[in-house]
Amino acid sequence: MELIHVMVNGAPGNMARQLMRHVIAAGDMNLIPMSMTGPETAEKEIAADGVSVRLIRPDEKDLLLDRLDTSGLAADGAKGSPVVAVDFTHPSAVNANAAFYAANGLWFVMGTTGGDRSALHETVEDSEISAVIAPNMAKQIVGLQAMLEYGAATFPGLFRGFDLRIRESHQRGKADTSGTAKALMASFQRLGCEFSADQIEMERDPVRQREEWGIPEEFLDGHAWHTYTLRSPASGAEFAITHNINGREIYMGGILDAVRYLAARRTAGPGKVYSMEDVLRAG
């Protein structure tokens, strides 16, 4: 069995740490013991289930490339052993990281939200790599999003005249507005709701999260709670969709599936941007 060599970027962040453990446990993957990190990171390395992982700051990327070369893993993404980078870094690093991956033949899964998404897609489409880009890797949430997109395409304007409210809560360290909230917002817009991204209500204060939202104490540093409420006072109708995620475990299976999906498409050619819906359809 050919192993997929996976570099998880974003350590020492919790998402990256948890994903590293899953990659190590997967029988068809090998964890590359390096992780791109932010310029403010003081740590030089972390341990992931007994594996020592070197943290690579932005000014040390040449070191990363040298180590890939000496490991025999810097082959073009369409040749040799499959190498996939998984990005859970920071919104401010999205576009620079994508440009780095593209310039060095590293196919990637982008789970980090934020950045210039149009430029992100263009970077991949104009390159010799392909990527899975998605604001959410939880397969059930991706399925919910797809259902709403189908409804919006099939019944445009269905909720015209309804007032929309979107509330989302994440751990304090999440810097940007939820990409999932923005994606579902786009479907509600096609369904007839007049709403813009700056109306999304973000919560990052752990005191309010605990006391007003009821989020359990043990998940204040890792959760994703969303509620979308549609009201029509004139017709006396109210609809609500809620998806509340505690912890990060629900994302792990989808991320690993995205890695496998991307590795299996090396022969399909470069310049392609895949979504998590593509991953789900592949089974």
Write phi, then psi, for 206 (nearest 5 degrees): -65, -25
Residue 108 sits in the same domain as residue 157: no
Annotated catalytic, 272? no
pLDDT of residue 94: 97
Residue 242 sits in the same domain as residue 253: no
Q: Kindly report, residue by residue over 221-250, the tens digit of the pLDDT.
A: 999 999 999 999 999 999 999 999 999 999
Annotated catalytic, 170? yes
Residue 124 sits in the same domain as residue 15: yes
pLDDT of residue 172: 95
Residue 154 sits in the same domain as residue 211: yes
Domain count, the chain: 2
Q: Give me Rg for the CA atoms of the chain.
A: 20
Q: CATH number of the domain at 201, please.
A: 3.30.360.10
Residue 19 near residue 8, CB atoms below 8 Å: yes
pLDDT of residue 70: 55
- The domain of 217 spans 139-246
Give yes or no for residue 78 having a pLDDT over 70.
no
Give yes or no for residue 75 having a pLDDT over 50.
no
Give yes or no for residue 165 having a pLDDT over 50.
yes
Give yes or no for residue 196 having a pLDDT over 90.
yes
Residue 120 sits in the same domain as residue 8: yes
Residue 229 sits in the same domain as residue 149: yes
pLDDT of residue 48: 96
Q: Considering 90, 170, 223, 226, which one is annotated as catalytic?
A: 170
Residue 21 sits in the same domain as residue 122: yes
Give yes or no for residue 103 having a pLDDT over 50.
yes
138/260 Cα distance (integer angstroms): 15
Tokens of residue 90, six digits: 């920071």
Q: H/E element holding 180?
A: helix 179-190
The distance from CA 45 to its chain's CA centroid, rounded to whole angstroms, is: 23
Interval 195-224 mean pLDDT: 98
Q: Kindly report, residue by residue over 242-273, the tens digit of the pLDDT.
A: 999 999 999 999 999 999 999 999 889 899 99
The percent of residues above 90 in pLDDT, for the chain, comes to 88
The percent of residues above 70 in pLDDT, for the chain, comes to 95
Closest CA to 62 of 113, 117, 104: 104
218/253 Cα distance (integer angstroms): 22
Q: CATH number of the domain at 71, please.
A: 3.40.50.720
pLDDT of residue 11: 98
Interval 161-175 mean pLDDT: 96
Q: Considering 5, 22, 174, 243, which one is annotated as catalytic?
A: 174
Residue 7 near residue 35, CB atoms below 8 Å: yes
pTM listed for this prediction: 0.89
Residue 17 sits in the same domain as residue 98: yes
Residue 220 sits in the same domain as residue 269: no
Residue 259 sits in the same domain as residue 127: yes
Residue 127 sits in the same domain as residue 257: yes
Residue 9 sits in the same domain as residue 112: yes
